């Protein structure tokens, strides 16, 4: 891989041990993926912030980095952690878990990362189209590539962090314009009635496309929050890191590509496979974290209604968006729902609540929750989730 004089010096340790380590790993990864050079990045987004999923090994790694004076050299944001202030009490977590989580978040801050603690950093610090990024968090990666038009591969937590320190990432995969075209076409043979039908289609597309870029023919316009959830579902069904919409690129270039049709029955099948039948005690909306549009919709659906006794309704969003919309937050919480920040049901310790079944509108959450928290999941649309939570 070609390195500039400065990059050679960093690799040789002349600019300190932190940069040396970052460069060693990035150059190794670059060689592995056939990159010819490193490309400067505008930002990094780092996952692995929840102590539940990252564990002690992350703390040790970060302690070592902090000890040698590592610092992010570009804007670097953080994914959700295991709890916010209110959940800390609700979950009745052991003191050592609370301490470990707080140390983990503190170490990221010490390394110069912003305490955004959200999987939708783009609503606060939005990259520009064409900028190169090193983002982990598959739902944010696919949104950045497909909706914003920025360039990022699907990084792991360590490679995103080391890219933040170096301010660069290997120039391969989705950083190269020639790799950003679709290689399969998916046609939805029905008009999705709600976001769940759309997102379940996305999960199926991810399963089929795997790491290829799908082009979607969808028979209606999609809003930003629908696109956000569609990408998240696709990226959890497969290793998909980017999709395109046929309406954006025109139908001409799609002639020679493999085509797959998706019908409503295929989507019902996905929902059935990700769902169980039990009665949900916890209803969770906000995977990925809710946007302003979703908070408005939820506030409207909850107007004049109360969460039923024995049910909990959690709405997860970013600290930034909650603070930006105090009126929406109070309108939602007037129903007895909680607007939680910094965390989500998937990366928190929801099993400590003693709930057996969680309802959600997110196929991504439905896919991960049983394995991570041992709970069953009922997939339902946002509207149905609110109806399950509330008396009429």
CA 362 centroid distance within chain: 12
Quote the least distance from Cβ 329 to ligand F3S, whole Å: 18
**DSSP per-residue string spanning 248-310:** HH-SGGGTTSEEEEE-HHHHHHHHHHH---SPPSEEEEEEEEE-HHHHHHHHHHHTT--BPTT
Quote the least distance from Cβ 138 to ligand F3S, whole Å: 8
**DSSP per-residue string spanning 72-110:** -SSEEEE---S--HHHHHHTT--HHHHHHHHHHHHHHHH
Residue with smaller CB distance to ligand F3S, 27 or 353 = 353
Residue with smaller CB distance to ligand F3S, 179 or 292 = 292
Residue with smaller CB distance to ligand F3S, 222 or 232 = 232
Residue with smaller CB distance to ligand F3S, 139 or 153 = 139
Quote the least distance from Cβ 121 to ligand F3S, whole Å: 11
Residue with smaller CB distance to ligand F3S, 11 or 283 = 283
Quote the least distance from Cβ 372 to ligand F3S, whole Å: 9
Quote the least distance from Cβ 49 to ligand F3S, whole Å: 9
Residue with smaller CB distance to ligand F3S, 151 or 284 = 284
Quote the least distance from Cβ 233 to ligand F3S, whole Å: 10
Check whether the bond before 318 is cis (ω within 30° of 0). Answer: no
Quote the least distance from Cβ 369 to ligand F3S, whole Å: 9
Token pair 């890219």 is at which residue?
A: 163
d(CA 392, CA 380): 17
- How many residues belong to the chain? 392
Residues near ligand F3S (CB under 6 A): 79-80, 119, 139, 232, 286-289, 316, 344, 346-347, 364-365
In this structure, are residues 262 and 205 in contact, taking their beta carbons and an 8 Å threshold? Answer: yes
Quote the least distance from Cβ 39 to ligand F3S, whole Å: 26
Residue with smaller CB distance to ligand F3S, 111 or 345 = 345
**DSSP per-residue string spanning 186-234:** EEESS--SSHHHHHHHHHHHHHHHTTS-EEEE-SS---HHHHHHHHHHH
Residue with smaller CB distance to ligand F3S, 127 or 231 = 231
d(CA 280, CA 303): 22
Bridge partner list, 109: none
Question: Would you tell me how many other CB atoms lie within 10 Å of the CB of residue 96?
Answer: 9
Residue 194 dihedral angles phi and psi, to the nearest 5°? -150, 180
- What tokens does 378 get? 């009922």
Question: Would you tell me how many other CB atoms lie within 10 Å of the CB of residue 144?
Answer: 28
Residue with smaller CB distance to ligand F3S, 172 or 364 = 364
Contacts of residue 342, Cβ cutoff 8 Å, sequence gap at least 6: 80, 81, 83, 84, 117, 118, 319
Q: Which helix (H) or strand (E) holds 386?
A: helix 382-389
Quote the least distance from Cβ 144 to ligand F3S, whole Å: 13
């Amino acid at each position: 891989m070609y390195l500039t004089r400065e990059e050679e010096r960093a690799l040789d340790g002349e600019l300190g041990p932190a940069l040396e380590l970052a460069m060693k790993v990035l150059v190794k990864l670059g060689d592995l993926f056939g990159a010819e050079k490193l490309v400067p990045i505008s930002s990094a987004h780092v996952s692995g912030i929840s102590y539940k999923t990252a564990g002690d090994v992350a703390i040790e790694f970060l302690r070592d980095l902090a000890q040698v004076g590592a610092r992010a050299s570009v804007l670097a944001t953080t994914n959700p952690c295991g709890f916010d202030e209110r959940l800390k009490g609700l979950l009745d977590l052991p003191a050592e878990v609370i301490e470990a989580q707080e140390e983990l978040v503190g170490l990221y801050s010490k390394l110069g990362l912003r305490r955004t603690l959200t999987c939708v950093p783009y609503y606060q610090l939005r990259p520009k189209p064409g900028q190169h990024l090193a983002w982990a968090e598959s739902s944010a990666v696919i949104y950045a590539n497909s909706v914003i038009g920025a360039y990022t591969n699907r990084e792991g937590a360590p490679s995103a962090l080391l890219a933040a320190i170096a301010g660069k990432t290997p120039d391969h995969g989705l950083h190269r314009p020639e790799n950003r075209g679709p290689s399969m076409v998916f046609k939805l043979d029905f008009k999705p009635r709600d976001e769940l039908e759309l997102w379940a289609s996305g999960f199926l597309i991810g399963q089929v496309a795997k790491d290829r870029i799908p082009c979607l023919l969808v028979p209606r316009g999609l809003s930003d929050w629908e696109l956000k959830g569609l990408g998240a579902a696709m990226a959890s069904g497969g290793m998909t890191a980017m999709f395109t919409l046929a309406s954006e690129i025109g139908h001409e270039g799609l002639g020679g590509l493999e085509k797959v049709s998706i019908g409503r029955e295929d989507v019902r099948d996905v929902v059935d496979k990700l769902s169980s039948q039990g009665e949900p005690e916890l209803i969770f909306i906000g995977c990925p974290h809710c946007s302003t549009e979703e908070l408005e919709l939820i506030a409207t659906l909850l107007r004049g209604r109360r969460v039923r006794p024995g049910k909990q309704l959690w709405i997860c969003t970013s600290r930034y968006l909650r603070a930006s919309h105090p009126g929406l937050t109070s309108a939602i919480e007037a129903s007895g729902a909680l607007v939680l920040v910094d965390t989500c049901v998937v990366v928190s310790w929801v099993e400590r609540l003693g709930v057996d079944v969680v309802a959600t509108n997110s196929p991504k959450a439905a896919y991960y929750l049983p394995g991570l928290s041992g709970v069953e999941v009922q997939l339902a649309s946002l509207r149905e989730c609110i109806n399950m939570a509330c008396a009429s």
